[in-house]
A = this chain, B = another copy of it.
Amino acid sequence: MQYPEPISKLIDSYMKLPGIGSKTATRLAFYTIDMQEDDVTEFAQSLISAKRDLSYCSICGNITESDPCMICADKSRDNSKVVVVEQPKDVMSLERMNEYHGLYHVLHGVLSPIEGKGPEDINIASLLRRLQKNEAIKEVIIATNATPEGEATAMYIARLVKPANIKVTRLAHGLAVGSDIEYADEMTLFKAIEGRQEI
C-alpha cells in the first residue's frame, strides 16, 4: 500500500531539496497537512514567486528582483572597490557589517578540480570584462571562503587581475573576535602570527 497520491507527490518534492531524505520528507509532508491553510498557500506562492521574480544581476551576478541590482545601480557607492565573493549569501553577510560601501562580484562557486569545476564554470570571465570596461575600479578584494578551494580561487583571480595594474587584496586570516587561543587550530594561529600588526 502506498500513501495517497497528494502526499506521496509532496514527499517526492521535499526529497528534491538538499539534505532531505525520505524519512525527513515524510515527516515534513505530514507536518504540512496539519499546518494552517494560509501558511501552506503562502509557502506555495513564495516558491513560485522566488523562482519567477528573482534573477541574477547582469553586472555583478548577485541575486536581485531588478537588473542591475540595487547595489550596482546605487550611484552613491564607492565604485573603486569590488569585493569578490562565492555566493549571494556572502554579499548579505558583508552588507550586514555596514562598513563596506563598494561594489561586489559574485562567482557562484569556486574552482574545484574534484567536482570538475574549472574557471569557465564560475563568473570569472565576467569579472575580467568588468575590470576592462570599468576604469574606476582600483582594488579587487577577494573574499572567497578560507577553504583550500577558496584559497586556490583567490590565487587564480589574483594572477589574472594583477597584470592590469589593479590592486588585489585578500581578507585577513586570524583569530575570530571573541575566540580563545586555546581552541584555535594551528593553521589559524600560524596565519594570525604571520599577519600580526603593530599596536
Is A53 an interface residue when CB atoms closer than 8 A count as contact?
Answer: yes
Is A92 an interface residue when CB atoms closer than 8 A count as contact?
Answer: yes
Stretch of A34-42, A144-152, A156-164, A175-183 at the chain-chain interface: A34-42
> Are B48 and A44 in touch, CB under 8 angstroms?
yes
Chain A interface mostly helix, strand, loop or mixed?
A: helix
> Are A51 and B64 in touch, CB under 8 angstroms?
no
> Are A35 and B54 in touch, CB under 8 angstroms?
no
With A4-B65, A44-B45 as contacts: A13 and B39 at CB distance below 8 Å? yes
State in angstroms the CA–CA spacing of A41 and B49 once bound together: 10
Minimal Cβ-Cβ distance residue in B for A48? B44
Is A102 an interface residue when CB atoms closer than 8 A count as contact?
Answer: no
Nearest 9 Cβ contacts at the A-B interface: A1-B95, A44-B44, A13-B43, A9-B46, A10-B46, A10-B50, A40-B51, A6-B50, A44-B47
